[in-house]
Amino acid sequence: MTKKDLLDWLFEMLNEHDSLFLDVGLDDTLDALLVTTIDKERFIIMADYLKENEEMIRCWEKNNPVTLIIEMALMILADLGIISERQREDFHSEVTKFTDVLQETYKHKGLEELLHL
């Protein structure tokens, strides 16, 4: 499925629900849908291809900035050839085990104190 196919499908699907949406417009230049709800709220739904690991980064960016920093560092180290992709995956697995602990520590102590651990 291409980006255009996805937007076309979403356009058709949203237009079927006229009890929820007043207007659904397709903007090919933005690769986006412009949606107006019955409550007159306006939204833009953009479509783009995800790069490797991008989805993971977007999730962690919102939920756990500490894990995001570690993951980004691992990706950079792998890109520079300092560690192998296999090592990056192994480190990722280890970091993932501590995601909840890192998040709780971040929430209670803040980033500055967490980085001093």
- Domain span including residue 94: 54-115
Mean pLDDT to the nearest integer, 18-24: 89
78 and 35 in a common domain: no
108 and 60 in a common domain: yes
Higher pLDDT, 58 or 75: 75
Q: Is the pLDDT of residue 82 over 90?
A: yes
Q: How many domains does the chain have?
A: 2
In sequence order, the 6+-apart residues with CB closer than 8 A to the CB of 24 are 11, 14, 15, 33, 34, 35, 36
100 and 77 in a common domain: yes
Higher pLDDT, 65 or 27: 27
pLDDT category at 87 given cuts 50, 70, 90 is very high
pLDDT, residue 75, reads: 83
Block residue for tokens 């803040």: 110
Q: Is the pLDDT of residue 67 over 90?
A: no
62 and 105 in a common domain: yes
111 and 61 in a common domain: yes
pLDDT category at 99 given cuts 50, 70, 90 is confident
How far is 26 from 43, CA to CA, in rounded Å?
Answer: 12
Asked if 109 contacts 117 with a C-beta cutoff of 8 angstroms, the reply is no
Joined tokens for residue 57: 């980064």
pLDDT category at 57 given cuts 50, 70, 90 is low
For the whole model, what pTM was predicted?
0.46
95 and 59 in a common domain: yes
42 and 59 in a common domain: no
107 and 58 in a common domain: yes
Q: Is the dihedral of CA 63, 64, 65, 70 positive or negative?
A: negative
37 and 58 in a common domain: no
Mean pLDDT to the nearest integer, 20-37: 90
